[in-house]
Amino acid sequence: MTRPRTASPGERHPPVRRAPDFLERPMRADARRNHDRLLAEARAVFAEHGTDASLEDVARRAGVGIGTLYRHFPNRHALMSAVFEDAVNELLARARELLTAPEPCRALLTWLQEVVTSTATYRGLSRALMSASSTDPASALARCGTPMREAGAALLTRAQEAGTVRADVQITDLLQLTHAIALAVEESPGDPDLADRLLELTLRGLT
């Protein structure tokens, strides 16, 4: 078995941060109401029609013009990152919990399963996350993925230190593979066990 990578004391289990909040600037009460309505309708529209859904439809359902939408969310990725932010923070909190789980490799797999479940809520999100991380790293959606990589890296490092995951496995590759599994799940809605099977196969390749 390949010897696990040994982390330096300062590198060991880096803190898991919250997802970045791109909208912390103060808002007037009416602007906050518009923002909250847009976000609520975007969640509903994206869940129903996928993340490629019409932004004009989101604005119409929120009772505002498309210009108002773009004042709050300058592009589709900014809106998608805001929609996904609560789920990201839940995944980050879950990663912190799993850092004390008794089986490091199983803890990593459990977290990846939850990533698949969360991203699959919005059809097209996994594809957008994969694309943004490689083609537009400065976008809001790509920056939202930074704390996710850190959270996954902490779980991966722990499993590597325990000798249950190969030392050459990188979190960026593992998350890309996880997003690919989420895409496969999107295309196979009649197979509810597909994600678990593919992740179990992934686990076999990690050890």
Whole-structure pTM value: 0.78
The predicted structure's pLDDT at residue 207: 77
Q: Compute the average pLDDT of residues 116-140.
A: 81
In terms of pLDDT, which residue wins out, 207 or 109?
Answer: 109
pLDDT digits (tens, 9 = 90+) for 181-203: 988 888 888 888 898 899 888 88
Q: Over the chain, what is the mean pLDDT?
A: 85
pLDDT at site 99: 97
pLDDT value of position 144: 79
Task: Please indicate whether residue 73 or residue 205 has the higher confidence score (pLDDT).
Answer: 73
Cα distances from 181 to residues 66, 93, 174, 175, in angstroms, run 34, 22, 11, 10
Task: Please give the helix or strand (H or E) that residue 85 lies within, else none.
Answer: helix 76-98
Q: How far apart are CA 96 and CA 81, in angstroms?
A: 21
Q: Is the pLDDT of residue 69 over 70?
A: yes
Q: Is the pLDDT of residue 3 over 60?
A: no
| Residue 187, pLDDT score | 84
pLDDT beyond 90 at 72: yes
What Å distances lie between residue 146 and 47, 105, 153, CA to CA? 23, 22, 11
**For residues 95 and 155, is the Cβ–Cβ distance under 8 A?**
yes
pLDDT at 17: 53
